Structure 1
């Protein structure tokens, strides 16, 4: 097992990943299957470790955004179905076919270029429908007809699935969601009239999976909530299922000093002590993803909230203490100490963003410690030459 030589680390609870998937399985029913969404290094949690935990818990397939992400999973030994949900260059489709990776398509020119490739293996495809997200996908039955004809003409192409994405499934106002559902239903009716073979339909993201489990589909895509975070305050308030956060962020005090009244801290001297004050230095900074805008937010020391003071540096920040602490005292930036907890939601609110962004922004420079039932099962340190474990 790898190790690391710094006093800052992320803990990822793999048992929480498994718990959240089991909660969703009970909620949506046994007939629906789950795509575990592990794009962006599993939202900053670690793709291979999370993928294994998700599959062990009953997820049927994996979904990513980039072909590179899918190839990495294959090279790490994953043999389950893998879908790339983003756009892939048509000339790279042969690599996907060779590695049994399913691709997303929605453009006539794209499919024609793919058909000109020398495909040694069948290429599995998922057609993306834009029912209102306005991002990727076909927007009309006419486009669908053209693409289906192109696929039907080439036996090397396998239409494995169709999918869409809801823009407001996590919103209190369901009007736009219902409009997307209406468009989806109309397109599905036309599709079934044109295509007789069985395909997998997947439309629900985490929010729709939790709020509208009755949707007619074969798969749901479990992303943010697999990691124990609710997609929005609305969904969190409804609490259709209980989730357990998988991600926490920790460091340790490396230096303690007492400032005299009037002495200042960090670049720009934005904080000056108004009285004699204990100050601690913590070895984590904006190069690790703890960005400068987090100046002033609380962290936990000895189960108590203490504020970050002065500007956050590239590799360090300072906190104001209530008393003197020893070097080595643990500091929790996200997570629980005693009765106090700082959540990803709180950090997101401080930054005026969404909780999705918080684990994603913590860089690979911060080692990941993987636990299951409080036992360390893996450590990943991107700065190590053996940083990526193969299954």
Structure 2
């Protein structure tokens, strides 16, 4: 970090990432672990977090887009990397040449990866995705036989090797949800069919972070952990991060930009949705929705300033928001404001902001913008 205090920055504790990976491996001791680093590691910095996860025993790294996977290879990351969100005309050949496992959900994708493998002169590693009930990506059960048959034929010709069969839960973050068991049943049936037809996958996987934490029967050969790697609970219903044995890795801090006295009846920020009830002091926090502070948390978002948790006064603007200090005369420009963190010192957490904004903690950490520097600790 520069010696000049930054306007706003996110500190990323890589020891927390390593500890979370170890804790998750303990939850699934007979399975390998994939650390998902899509969306710049949920806002935490993909390259640094992928390396930390590998150091803690993650044998796979997962991304959504091929561009994310290729960027990891370009940064020198070795080991197994898988990516799954493809569109026609994607960089299939580059992925094949970079030894990236690619997901196939339909015939068009199988055709494109076979062509890429022939052009590259090497065998592509593919994983067949089954739609077991999420209704998003993946092959429907009615189309599964045709896709498996084509994949087995491609494997026989040497253009592909089927390294995995996988799927994704719709409601694993809601323990006991009636969709969970039918999805597991469908996965087992589609897996059994593929194996009967000659597919011998290295890894079979359906468990995401919530299933890793609460559904041991779903662990199979590999668990795919995303948000939990970064120490954030995937759902309040599952427990807090602390209750789950996880530690939040991101702490978002800002430097107080201005402190001033204002009289009673003074409007604050756009629309004057907040008006001071008496003479008071205001502090300007130089972070806004362009940095990822949710505008929906206007009037509700919590911030630790001067040893006390304050609430956003009025609307969150693009670059800044205001908190009302009351009669606190100790806060000065340049003092630290902790927007969220692990909660060790009374600061709000990402979950607190999620509640204030009416969203999920996934969005809070992932939305922190590109102009916010990431400072990686314990590299």
- Report the TM-score range of the alignment, normalised by the length of the smaller protein: over 0.9
Contact in 1 for aligned 2:303/2:347 (Cα 8 Å)? no
Is 1:355 matched with 2:361?
Answer: yes
Distance 1:293 1:343, change over 3 A: same
Contact in 1 for aligned 2:130/2:167 (Cα 8 Å)? yes
Is 1:304 matched with 2:308?
Answer: yes
1:161-180 matches, within 5 Å, as 161-180=164-183
Alignment match of 2:372 (pick from 355, 366, 376): 366
Aligned residue for 2:291? 288
1:251-262 matches, within 5 Å, as 251-262=254-265
Contact in 2 for aligned 1:21/1:59 (Cα 8 Å)? yes
1:1-391 matches, within 5 Å, as 6-29=6-29, 31-90=30-89, 92-117=91-116, 118-140=119-141, 141-195=144-198, 197-215=200-218, 217-236=220-239, 241-296=244-299, 297-322=301-326, 323-324=328-329, 325-335=331-341, 339-372=345-378, 377=379
Distance 1:76 1:326, change over 3 A: same
CA displacement at 1:270 relative to structure 2: 2.4
CA offset digits 1:215-245 (Å, max 9, x no partner): 3521110111111112112211698741111
Contact in 1 for aligned 2:296/2:358 (Cα 8 Å)? no
Contact in 2 for aligned 1:126/1:159 (Cα 8 Å)? yes
Distance 1:289 1:126, change over 3 A: same
Distance in 2, matches of 1:242 and 1:214, equals 20
SS at match of 1:83: strand
Contact in 1 for aligned 2:166/2:206 (Cα 8 Å)? yes
CA-atom RMSD, angstroms? 2.1
Distance in 1, matches of 2:218 and 2:226, equals 17
Distance in 1, matches of 2:154 and 2:243, equals 40
Distance in 1, matches of 2:155 and 2:264, equals 78
TM-score normalised by the chain length of structure 1: 0.89
Distance in 2, matches of 1:19 and 1:238, equals 12
Distance in 2, matches of 1:282 and 1:158, equals 53
CA displacement at 1:338 relative to structure 2: 6.6
CA offset digits 1:175-199 (Å, max 9, x no partner): 2100001111111221221115343
Distance 1:252 1:138, change over 3 A: same
Question: How many residues were matched structurally?
Answer: 372
Contact in 2 for aligned 1:302/1:337 (Cα 8 Å)? no
Distance in 2, matches of 1:190 and 1:336, equals 45
